[in-house]
């Protein structure tokens, strides 16, 4: 039974399950799905209310913090008990291209040559991890939400700003993967 769980689920199973979170959240409590807003709730809980952005009743949204904790601990449990120990399968052409940048270890979900504390102290690692993290955080706040909030919740509610944001996320992802990342990896 565990072997079935260890294999990736096909899109026609995983997609509808993710999509079903929207009506469940709306029906059970008129709640919106999104992950990035939880950081604001954490800051509002920890930072004195001198900053206008954090002056709201974050306790009404505490369910979101439990949701994010569930994602975190669920990921930890899945990584420990359900992770397939074999190497991550990568397309042969992509593998050949990544080899030219020195990426050859596919034993983790993220290449070890890119994401580790040692590479954080290099220009390539700093740009990738710190610069990328800053840009994701800035883009999330600028767009008024993250990809899960806009692409799952916003699109299912037919919100025009979510369609625009999702299109921009996709364009940004294509540009990053095909134009910017190869330049960074060649440093």
pLDDT score for 122: 87
Residue 170's pLDDT band (boundaries 50, 70, 90)?
very high
| pLDDT computed for residue 77 by the predictor | 86
Q: What pLDDT was estimated at residue 1?
A: 54
> Tell me, what's the pLDDT at 168?
92
Q: 140 falls in which pLDDT band (50, 70, 90)? A: confident
The owner of tokens 């890119």 is: 114
Q: Mean pLDDT over all residues of the chain? A: 84
> In Å, how far are 21, 69, 141 from 46, measured between CA atoms?
28, 17, 19
| Predicted pLDDT at 62 | 83
* pLDDT confidence of residue 4: 62
Torsional class of 36: left (φ above 0), alpha (ψ -120 to 50), beta (otherwise): alpha
Whether residue 3 is predicted with pLDDT greater than 70 in this model: the reply is no
Predicted pLDDT of residue 110: 81
């Amino acid at each position: 039974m565990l072997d079935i769980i260890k294999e990736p689920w096909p899109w026609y199973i995983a997609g509808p399950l993710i999509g079903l979170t929207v009506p469940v959240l709306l029906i059970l409590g008129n709640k919106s799905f999104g992950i990035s807003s939880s950081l604001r709730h954490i800051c509002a809980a920890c930072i004195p209310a001198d900053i206008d952005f954090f002056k709201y009743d974050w306790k009404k949204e505490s369910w979101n913090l439990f949701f994010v904790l569930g994602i975190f601990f669920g990921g930890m449990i899945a990584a420990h008990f359900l992770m397939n120990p074999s190497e991550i399968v990568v397309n042969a052409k992509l593998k050949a291209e990544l080899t030219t940048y020195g990426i050859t270890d596919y034993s983790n979900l993220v290449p070890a040559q890119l994401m580790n504390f040692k590479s954080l102290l290099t220009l390539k690692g700093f740009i990738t991890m710190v610069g990328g993290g800053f840009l994701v955080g800035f883009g999330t706040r600028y767009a008024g939400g993250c990809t899960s909030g806009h692409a799952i919740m916003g699109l299912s509610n037919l919100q025009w700003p979510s369609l625009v944001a999702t299109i921009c996320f996709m364009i940004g992802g294509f540009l990053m993967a095909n134009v910017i990342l190869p330049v960074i990896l060649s440093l």
